[in-house]
């Protein structure tokens, strides 16, 4: 019985990826990164507001969870909030006999920052910011109240802790968020360049895609066409027109003619050097 000693090919799943597949993955990764960057540019303020609101909600939920006997949920939340607050019992608000997840000052800071960021989002990120010197002045009350209490010169009151924390939190939001928005604003030129790069990425991706059994629907810019206008910038963009189909045919027709003329051309006569 004959035994086939030839080497069997590797399965398709174990085959080494070709350079084309690597290039296709790289193109898709670049397009994904650009889409993620565009999403962050649009919705970063919503993320900040959601984060601050979650911290305030968790701090408020702690005494209610303790009151209803849900200690298994309240204790992990309370201990997690200890990372951002000292949670001194004598400096905390109490609801139903249980303290909040943060002290009076820190709760006022995060609550005011949440309210300020919410106003910033509701104004469509057009809320004017405060100058740096005014932001520096908002640090003075909390610094005086905190340091004089820390060194034992005086004892602060709940009202002072709430007021100084609120001033500090609003000052941070009104200074930082508009500053970030001014540095992350997308100009029409930047948007046009982003759309052009995305069109080139899709064009490269479709040129590497294998030919399937049937036509595959592709976006308008996958064939090398960039939309005439963008929704954000509203300015005309350069259009990538594909090469005419007649140019390769004309080029291929001119090559045989040049070869024929070269083969039929007479050779130059050589001089007789024997004389």
Pair (177, 200) in one structural domain: no
> Same structural domain for residues 78 and 128?
yes
Please tell me whether residues 150 and 197 are part of one structural domain: no
The pTM of the full predicted model, rounded to 2 decimals, is 0.60
Beta strands 94-95 and 98-99: pairing type? antiparallel
Looking at residue 141, its pLDDT comes to 95
| Same domain? 60 vs 174 | yes
Regarding whether 170 and 137 lie in a shared domain, the answer is yes
What's residue 186's pLDDT?
62
Residues of the chain with pLDDT under 50: 1-2, 211, 216, 221-252, 255, 258, 261-265, 267, 270-275
In Å, how far are 76, 190, 205, 212 from 28, measured between CA atoms? Answer: 41, 21, 7, 19
Q: In angstroms, rounded to a whole number, what is the distance separating the alpha carbons of residues 108 and 214?
A: 62
In terms of domains, do 126 and 192 share one? no
Collapse the DSSP code of 153 into the 3-class scheme (helix H, G, I; strand E, B; otherwise coil) and give the result. coil
Are 56 and 103 members of one domain?
A: yes
Q: What pLDDT does residue 18 have?
A: 53
Matching residue, tokens 């799943």: 13
pLDDT of residue 12: 54
Q: Are 58 and 81 in contact (CB under 8 A)?
A: yes
Same domain, 116 and 137: yes
**Cβ atoms of residues 180 and 126 within 8 Å:** no
Structural domain includes residue 76: yes
Predicted local confidence at residue 52, as pLDDT = 96
Residue 129 to residue 120: CA distance in whole angstroms: 10
Q: Do 58 and 104 belong together in one domain?
A: yes
Same domain for 58 and 175, yes or no, is: yes
In a domain, 60, yes or no: yes
At what angle are helices 19-67 and 71-81 packed, to 10 degrees?
A: 110
Q: In which residue are the tokens 């810019």 written?
A: 221
Residues of the domain holding 205: 188-209+221-237
Number of domains making up the chain: 2
Same domain as 228, residue 95: no
Residue 265 covered by a domain = no
57 and 177 in a single domain? The answer is yes
């Amino acid at each position: 019985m004959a035994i086939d000693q030839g080497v069997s090919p590797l399965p398709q799943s174990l085959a080494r990826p070709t350079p084309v597949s690597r290039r296709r993955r790289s193109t898709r990764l670049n397009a994904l990164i650009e889409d993620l960057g565009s999403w962050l540019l649009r919705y970063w303020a919503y993320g900040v507001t959601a984060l601050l609101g979650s911290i305030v909600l968790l701090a408020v939920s702690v005494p209610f969870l303790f009151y209803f006997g849900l200690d298994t949920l309240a204790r992990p939340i309370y201990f997690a909030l200890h990372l951002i607050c000292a949670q001194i019992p004598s400096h905390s608000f109490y609801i139903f006999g249980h303290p909040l997840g943060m002290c009076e000052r820190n709760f006022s800071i995060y609550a005011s920052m949440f309210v300020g960021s919410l106003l910033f989002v509701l104004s469509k990120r057009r809320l004017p910011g405060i100058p740096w010197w005014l932001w520096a002045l908002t640090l003075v009350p909390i610094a005086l109240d905190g340091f004089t209490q820390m060194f034992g010169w005086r004892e602060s009151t709940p009202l002072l802790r709430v007021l100084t924390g609120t001033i500090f939190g609003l000052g941070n939001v009104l200074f930082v968020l508009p500053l970030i928005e001014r540095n992350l604003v997308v100009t029409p030129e930047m948007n046009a360049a982003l759309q052009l790069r995305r069109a080139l990425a899709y064009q490269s991706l479709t040129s590497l895609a294998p030919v399937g059994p049937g036509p595959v629907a592709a976006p308008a810019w996958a064939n090398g066409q960039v939309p005439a206008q963008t929704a954000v910038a509203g300015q005309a963009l350069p259009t990538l027109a594909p090469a005419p189909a007649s140019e390769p045919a004309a080029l291929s027709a001119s090559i045989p003619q040049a070869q024929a003329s070269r083969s039929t051309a007479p050779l130059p006569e050589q001089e007789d050097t024997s004389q």
